Amino acid sequence: MKMKRVQETDEKASVGAGRESNKETGGTGKESNKEAGKEDGKETDREKTREEIKDFGQVTLNHKIHLITIIGEIEGHECLPANSKTTKYEHILPQLAAIEDSKEIEGVLILLNTVGGDVEAGLAIAEMIASLSKPTVSLVLGGSHSIGVPIAVSADYSYIVATGTMVIHPVRMSGTVIGAPQTYDYFKQMQDRILGFISSHCRAKRSRLEELMLDTGMLTKDLGTILVGKQAVEEGIINQVGGISDAMKKIHSLI
Residues classed as catalytic: 146, 169
d(CA 36, CA 22): 20
DSSP 79: P
d(CA 190, CA 139): 25
Closest CA to 152 of 162, 163, 137: 137
Cα of 44 vs its chain's centroid, Å? 21
d(CA 234, CA 173): 30
- Strands 157-160 and 165-168: what pairing? unpaired
218 CB neighbour count, 10 Å cutoff: 14
Collapsing DSSP to helix, strand or coil, 134 comes out as coil
- Strands 225-228 and 165-168: what pairing? antiparallel
d(CA 36, CA 19): 25
State the Rg of the chain over Cα.
29
Pure H helices in the chain = 2-56, 89-101, 119-130, 148-153, 181-200, 206-213, 230-234, 244-254
